[in-house]
Structure 1
Amino acid sequence: MKGMAKPLFDISPFTLLDYPNKAACIFWFAGCNMRCLYCYNPDIVLGKGKIGIDEAKLFLQSRRGLLQAVVFSGGECSMHPDLMKLAKIAKEMGYLIKVDTNGTRPKVLKAMYEEGLLDYVALDFKALSPKYKEITLFDDFKSFEQSLEFLISTRLTFEVRTTVHGQLLSNDDLQEMLFFLEGKGYVGNYYLQAALNNVKTLSDLSYSSFGKEKINFSSRNIQVIIRA
């Protein structure tokens, strides 16, 4: 990805769903270091950037006073050397910054935090080992663990979320993941979102029947929430 002239695959000009209580846009970074079996953005994960930094800057300038935040997503935005540059541009214009990440680049999160370029993080918790590798085709659970530990150590607002496909994660798996988060000292909401059916994904999976009726657990410090 180094030296990629156009880091963004696309821009969603408006969302009220992706940054809590804020009007935002989404910058979709091309490429990802994972190949999650249920991924519904294969064009972004496997594609190349179409929008450069100058175009992104012009877009942000045109939305000043209309939007409050920018969501950096993908793909995996933390892979891109241009992430910091775009984040600085957005911050200088007064935007709040949210990063959606799989947590495989803890050093990038730390650098952004130290530069004052992070306001909110959504951290994807794919699974515990060994299912982590089976689902993502990426063999470095430790990097996710380091990102989680770093975020917990800060006062930064962040959430942990898991995409659930019934063929890949069982109710017992989710319970163990909750216990893992609790053991790390995470306090807050743990969001579960159902994998999409009837869409193009990176792998052919059976229909996932995961739903609200399967979840009947939380912990003292963590509330499990089904996100539609």
Structure 2
Amino acid sequence: MSLDPVSAASPSFPPRLLSRRLGVAVVSELVELIVTGQLHEGQLLPPEGPLSEHFGVSRTVLRESIKRLEEKGLVIVAQGRGTQVARSGSWNILDPVVLSALIDNDQSLGILDELTVVRSSLESLMAGVVAARRTDDELLRIEHALTAMRETEHDSDAFRHADFLFHITLMELSQNRLAENIAKSLYRRALDSARYQGMGHEGAFRLTLEEHSRVVEAITAKDVPSAEKAMRDHIEVAWQRRRFPTRRESRRA
């Protein structure tokens, strides 16, 4: 017996898509409620029935959403006790949804300050590794990445893309897959945030080029300590140039 492909697929496919979209919305809202402290550590989520009614989804969709939260380390599901908000130290902060919610809702910019410290530490170590063992061909790749930045200095979008590719090139050349994966995740998620892009600064692109040039000079000379310092200084100083003052900092000033 043959089946019409269209009629066979139609009844089941749209509900699955709808279910997935609903689940994403539920997860996003619950993640935001948790990271902003509206659902605090140790608090029990409402029972399944009221919670599914609140979100307007089936219990199946709600269970799948809770499972996603559990995978992100945001909740603990215990048989007979319900679903409890986990302590922040258990959260998977590298998860894109969790990290985005933290960045978007952090009025103090503390999470971006922390991100910058971690990123600068990882990338400085990777720059040192590249300086220690780079080949002539690898140095040529780095020099080309720097040249691309110079050639786009007066085109802000193109310059930012070239800047991104410069950092990605060094990460890849370090051949440290774990550090590369973590640094890339942090960097890409931060770049999606207008807060991380920060405020404009006169001569920012020129200063960025100078800082990148110092990294390349150190790598060219195979000077590991200088390469590490140049990369760490660049990432941390560039963030301070862009960083908006918080309300509390503005009041103190």
- How high is the TM-score relative to the length of structure 1? 0.28
- Write 1 or 2 for the structure with the bigger share of strand: 1
The alignment's TM-score, normalised by the length of structure 2, stands at: 0.26
Larger radius of gyration: 2
